[in-house]
Amino acid sequence: MKHIKECPLCGSQDHRLYLETQDWFLTMEAFSIQECNACAFLFTNPIPEEMGSYYQSEDYLSHNASKKGLLSTLYRIIRLIALKKKYHQVKKHATGKNLLDIGCGTGEFLNYCQIQGMNTKGIEPGKQAREFAKKQYNLEIDDEPALDNLPAGQYDVITLWHVLEHVPNLHQRMKTITSLIKDQGIIILALPNPQSFDAEKYEKFWAAYDTPRHLYHFRKKNIETLAQQHNLKLLETVPMPFDAYYISLLSEKYKTGSQNFLKATINGCKSNMKGAKSKNHSSLTYILQKK
């Protein structure tokens, strides 16, 4: 395991234990989440030296287009509904048609945008997901190392839908992204929110902690800090209400060992109702603009 000495966001070495949890999804290994005393950033610590094996499961839904079962079916229904909402955010803020989706998975969002007339390109480190997207949708998708070879200032919008929390070098990735967008270009980040009702409700069983695959756990003020560090402006924060139901369903499974659909639905509703008042939904989409 690799122990993190400095806060990945601000660099402070002053941090404390925030939560002890497990890899409920796959290995059942114990992991800790630390909180930086300087900037209140939450990060998984320690982390595995090699992460690949923690993604090797047919149940890892963002990379699996054929898995059956209640959770898989619900995931796909939510994803289909969410595609239109995601595209709306792109069209609302982007001034051009060149779109790069980093961590594009099996390509459904890119395909939707391509059908709408956008010029699309994807980056996906998972070979199985990448090949499926290319074969199924005829998309242009490359492996992650290709990011370093893309021309600077080429894209009007870059999207990372639940991706940034997985990236080992946070600031290097942000530096790369900002170099690829045009002036006044848009970066869209979708991230779980550890300040939501469902996070507080399920605590160590909250599925969106997803240690060790999720290296970071962003509060809203952390995104404001990150934006300032990379000369970006936060334009808008948009809730992702469907996530509360799916995350609650997974969390119920981790906590009780069974898929309590009714209880998860009730907690998802509570999370969205409380989120409407506090602006802390289960997941949030952040619209950032290059200054």
Peptide bond into 46 cis (omega under 30): yes
pLDDT of residue 34: 98
pLDDT of residue 58: 65
State the pairing for strand pair 119-123/98-102: parallel
Residue 172 resides in a domain: yes
Low-confidence ranges of the chain (pLDDT < 70): 58-76
> Is 55 in a helix, a strand, or coil?
helix
142-174 burial by CB neighbour count: b if 16+ within 10 A, else e? beeeebeeeeeebbbbbbbbbbbbbbeebeebb
Residue 28 resides in a domain: no
Residue 29 resides in a domain: no
Token pair 């114990």 is found at: 30
Q: Interhelix angle for 242-256 vs 70-93, to 10°?
A: 150
pLDDT of residue 209: 98
User: Which backbone phi and psi does 220 adopt, to 5 degrees?
Assistant: -60, -40
pLDDT of residue 64: 45
Q: What does the alpha-carbon distance between residue 277 and residue 284 come to, in Å, rounded to a whole number?
A: 14
Which residue range(s) make up the domain with 243?
60-290
pLDDT of residue 202: 98
Q: What does the alpha-carbon distance between residue 157 and residue 282 come to, in Å, rounded to a whole number?
A: 24
Within 13 Å of residue 213, how many CA atoms lie on the same side as its CB?
A: 21
Residue 153 resides in a domain: yes
pLDDT of residue 103: 96
Domain count of the fold of the chain = 1
The secondary structure of 175-241 as a DSSP string is: HHHHHHEEEEEEEEEEEE-TTSHHHHHHGGG-GGG-TTT--EE--HHHHHHHHHHTTEEEEEEEE-T
Residue 135 resides in a domain: yes
- 115: CATH: 3.40.50.150
